Amino acid sequence: MALLSDLINLNLSESTEKIIAEYIWVGGSGMDIRSKAKTLPGPVSDSQKLPKWNYDGSSTGQAPGEDSEVILYPQAIFKDPFRRGNNILVMCDAYTPAGEPIPTNKRHNAAKIFSHPDVVAEEPWYGIEQEYTLLQKDTKWPLGWPLGGYPGPQGPYYCGIGADKAFGRDIVDSHYKACLYAGINISGINGEVMPGQWEFQVGPAVGISAGDELWVARYLLERITEIAGVVLSFDPKPIQGDWNGAGAHTNYSTKSMRKDGGYEVIKKAVEKLKLRHKEHIAAYGEGNERRLTGRHETADINTFSWGVANRGASVRVGRDTEKHGKGYFEDRRPASNMDPYVVTSMIAETTILWKP
């Protein structure tokens, strides 16, 4: 047993210049993350200097068997917390051999929006609060819950401690350090209202990098739950009944919102979001109707509302922002299984580019 971890922890820098690069991409469902590794002759820190690669798209529901090659374009590099040394993780997006983004490639369109001059000028910042639920492996019942039954009602678990209140902290804490090591801008973690549910936050991240960092953070989380023998769920309402759902609240600001007088810019932006409520909701994650009920700190899915410090609204503005007359706001609608490329670029598009 000890021998295997000695091998996993071998520091190759002493014996070779070669490094291992783990290429990561989003699979055919839009939520399944895939990865495979290749050896490179030496350390690389610029994603544009990495070679393109390809994979069998017919095995991920992204290409037919007779023409199965999907091309991987490296887009962002992070340090690999599992292999450490000079080894890297590479976030990629997926293209046909002809160079067209495949249908499940949401990054391509997001990158277009984020490179529009008006959007670039506004320097959009994102802070994404990713909630998730840990499940016992063979039963898919939440971690720490008695099989065939339920824990005591919600109340003690939010930011709670203790063996009867916090389930899976090892996973959460090792993820925190792994993300910091990798270079992901993880800003915090907390235990959530439903037992076995946790949250981490990524940000502030500018433009397209919010999506890259969140996807790689999700990848690290699922690699860590794999080690722990626990199943990771991004379902927005994993347990029916008086149990909170899981969201991905997206905090957002532009240069204009962060400057003096920004509160007026925020109010105008929130008005525009209200006018496009249905379009946003349609893109904010599958199954969100099970979560956005108007109860459990959500706003009803059919109604757009906003308020200061109001956790029952679609959009929440913090008291500090109201007090200083500038800052940011929180879109509380996205589900935990949202695609951050879609949500971040759509918020930028609606608030900066779209004219009602």
Count the neighbouring beta carbons within 10 Å of the beta carbon of residue 294. 13
Q: Segment 33-72, which members bind a second copy (CB under 8 A)?
A: none
Out of 40, 186, 231, 346, the only residue in the binding site for a second copy (CB under 8 A) is: 186
Cβ proximity to a second copy: between 134 and 166 the closer is 166
- Asked if 26 touches a second copy (CB under 8 A), the answer is no
Out of 61, 103, 152, 188, the only residue in the binding site for a second copy (CB under 8 A) is: 188
- Asked if 161 touches a second copy (CB under 8 A), the answer is yes
- Asked if 286 touches a second copy (CB under 8 A), the answer is no
For the chain, give the longest Cα–Cα distance: 64
CA dihedral 165, 176, 52, 41 (to 10 degrees): -130
User: What's the min distance (Å) between Cβ of 79 and a second copy?
Assistant: 7
**Which residue stretch of 33-41, 156-164, 246-254, 270-278 sits at the interface with a second copy (rule: CB under 8 A)?**
156-164
Out of 158, 206, 270, 354, the only residue in the binding site for a second copy (CB under 8 A) is: 158
Provide the b/e sequence for 73-102 (b: ≥16 CB within 10 Å). bbbbbbbbbbbebbbbbbbbbbbbeeeebb
User: What's the min distance (Å) between Cβ of 305 and a second copy?
Assistant: 11
**Which residue stretch of 36-44, 109-117, 185-193, 334-342 sits at the interface with a second copy (rule: CB under 8 A)?**
185-193
∠ at Cα 93 (91, 96), nearest 5°? 150
Q: Quote the DSSP letter at residue 261.
A: T
| Pair of tokens at residue 241 | 């009944």
- Asked if 7 touches a second copy (CB under 8 A), the answer is no
User: What's the min distance (Å) between Cβ of 258 and a second copy?
Assistant: 17
- Asked if 10 touches a second copy (CB under 8 A), the answer is no
User: What's the min distance (Å) between Cβ of 226 and a second copy?
Assistant: 8
Beta strands of 44-119 (E only): which ranges?
A: 53-56, 69-79, 88-95
Spatial CB neighbours of 16, under 8 Å, sequence gap ≥ 6: none
Count of positions on this chain that bind a second copy (CB under 8 A): 52
Rounded-to-integer distance, Cα 186 and Cα 177, Å: 9
Task: Tell me how far CA of residue 356 lies from CA of 207, 329, 353, in angstroms.
Answer: 23, 20, 10
Task: Tell me how far CA of residue 346 lies from CA of 120, 182, 277, in angstroms.
Answer: 14, 27, 11
Contact 213, 341 (CB under 8 A): no
- Asked if 148 touches a second copy (CB under 8 A), the answer is no
SS3 state of residue 5: helix
Out of 20, 228, 239, 283, the only residue in the binding site for a second copy (CB under 8 A) is: 228
- Asked if 136 touches a second copy (CB under 8 A), the answer is no
Applying CB under 8 A, the residues found at the interface with a second copy are 1, 4-5, 8-9, 79, 81-82, 146, 155-156, 158-166, 169-171, 173-178, 180-181, 185-191, 193, 224, 227-229, 297, 307, 309-312, 318-319, 323
